[in-house]
Structure 1
Amino acid sequence: MQRDLRGDEALNFLLVGDLVGVAVFAASGASAAIGKRLDLFGVAFVGFVAALGGGILRDLVIGAVPPLAFADWRYAITAVLASIAVFRLHPHLTRLRRTVLVLDAAGLGLFTVTGTLKALTTGVPPVGACLVGMLTAIGGGLARDLLTAEIPVVLQRDIYAIVALGGAILVTILHGIGFVSALPMTGAAVLMTGLRLLALRRRWSAPVALP
């Protein structure tokens, strides 16, 4: 029988998913900062903001104050350590732009799932939970791109926010029918990551206005 994510199980799943997403987005932010030749502090700062920006936005929207990024030391430590690790290992990470894109896609999937689930478990209605999940996923990448003087990915033609919104809808449907154990939620995150990478490879894009 399918086990629901309730009580301690739900908290543990959200915590692990959040921390993995934090590490992935921190690595993405750090890689982008290294590509701009920032120093160690700059790399750690961009990684920190990229990792925690979406979660802070999520918590403020659903009224969970202070945000976990400030209330739980594990979030900040995970972001900083991941950023420093990327700083130290970056000579071995060839093609940093490709690394950023892959890590960003993984973070997109993870944060969409945890953001949507947290909104649902705190009583946010389904439509609002989908929007919160999308904002959680795109917030960190948006902050990273602004800090590194890049046009935010979410504002470009690439399919990005659409993947997050579609994933949030999927998570909401799974939650509504009670199919919310760790396995399907992980599968949803993997699906979003794969779709994002496939969209990049196939150069799928949203329509733009003609000049």
Structure 2
Amino acid sequence: MFQILDSIGVFVFAISGVLSGLNKRLDAFGVFIIAFVTALGGGTLRDVLIGKTPVGWMGNLTYLYIILLAYFVTLFFKRHLERLRVSLFLFDSIGLGVFTIIGIEKGIEFGLHPIICITLGTITASFGGVIRDILCNEIPVIFRKEIYATVCIAGGVMFFLLKRVHLNQDVLYLLTSLFMISFRLLAVKYKWYLPSLYKKD
């Protein structure tokens, strides 16, 4: 189930990248690259930081196939994707939770401090979008309006708090993921944003 959710996350993040590339009127190759970095950029950066090489997707071509599938599905069904906006947002939120936990577990595997593990989880889940926005010449969304990285950090703290209780691993994953998904859905519904430091004169 964890692998299935991971694949869904890659698929939805790739769709997000394709749509961003199309909105910027990039060529076919450019759109694919944006989809690729959106889906795998965070995980790649995480693996490089902890010295895990070759990075994950290089040893598992399934990720590449998933991105290719998302690429062509988006191109052929772009007009219909707007109707699926709510579903895509839900899957994106699921991907956020799953990717955060994957990053945290990688840090634990390498014996890193919990704070560093939470940082790796946040990087895994959100930095693909950061790279996408930078390549598309935009200020990354997570830095200006969406509570996104904050959800990852809160989820990471929740993960380690629950871990102290010695819960079953599957229950730990499930509760942490549900917390992050619920947090993000509520943040969007009620328009929760971090305060801006910009002051008008």
Where on the TM-score scale, by shorter chain, does this alignment land: which range? 0.7 to 0.9
Q: What is the count of residue pairs matched by the alignment? A: 199
1:154 shift after superposition: 1.7
* Structure 2 residue identity aligned to 1:41: F
CA deviation map 1:111-159 (0-9, x unaligned): 1111112211232221211111111111111112222333211211432
Describe how 1:130-169 pairs up with structure 2 within 5 A: 130-169=118-157
Question: Structure 1: which amino acid aligns with 2:174?
Answer: T
Q: Distance in 1 between matches of 2:153 and 2:192?
A: 16
Provide the residue aligned with 1:199 in structure 2.
187
**1:97 Cα offset (Å):** 7.3
1:119 matches 2:120:
no
1:104 and 1:144, CA in 2 relative to 1: closer, same or farther beyond 3 A?
A: farther
Q: Whole-Å Cα distance in 2 between the matches of residues 42 and 95 of structure 1?
A: 25
Instruction: Report what 1:107 is aligned to.
Output: 95
Structure 1: any 5+ residue segments left out of the alignment? 1-11
SS in 1 for 2:146: coil
C-alpha distance in structure 1 between counterparts of 2:71 and 2:168, whole Å: 31
Percent sequence identity is 36
Show CA shifts across 1:63-122 (max 9, x none). Answer: 211111222222222222222222222121126877775554333222111111221123
SS of the residue corresponding to residue 94 of structure 1 reads helix
Q: Does the CA-based 8 Å contact 1:31-1:99 persist in structure 2?
A: no
**1:30 Cα deviation after fit:** 1.6
Distance 1:69 1:60, change over 3 A: same
Larger CA deviation: 96-105 vs 134-143: 96-105
Structure 2: gaps of 5 or more residues: none
Q: For each residue in 1:23-43, what CA deviation from the matched residue of structure 2 results, as whole angstroms up to 9, or x when unmatched?
A: 221122122223334343232
- The counterpart of 1:82, out of the listed 65, 70, 87, is 70
CA contact (8 A) 1:17 1:114 kept: no
Higher relative contact order (CA 8 A, sep 6+): 1
Aligned match of 1:40: 28
- The residue number in structure 2 matching 1:67 is 55
Moved more, 29-38 or 132-141: 29-38
Distance, in Å, in 2 between the alignment partners of 1:158 and 1:168 is 18
Which residue of structure 2 lines up, in the alignment, with residue 181 of structure 1? 169
- TM-score of the aligned structures, taking structure 2 as reference length: 0.85
* Paired AA for residue 120 in structure 1: I
What amino acid sits opposite 1:164 in the alignment?
C
Measured against aligned partners, the alpha-carbon deviations of 1:9-32 in whole angstroms (never above 9, x if no partner) come to xxx84x445433222211221222
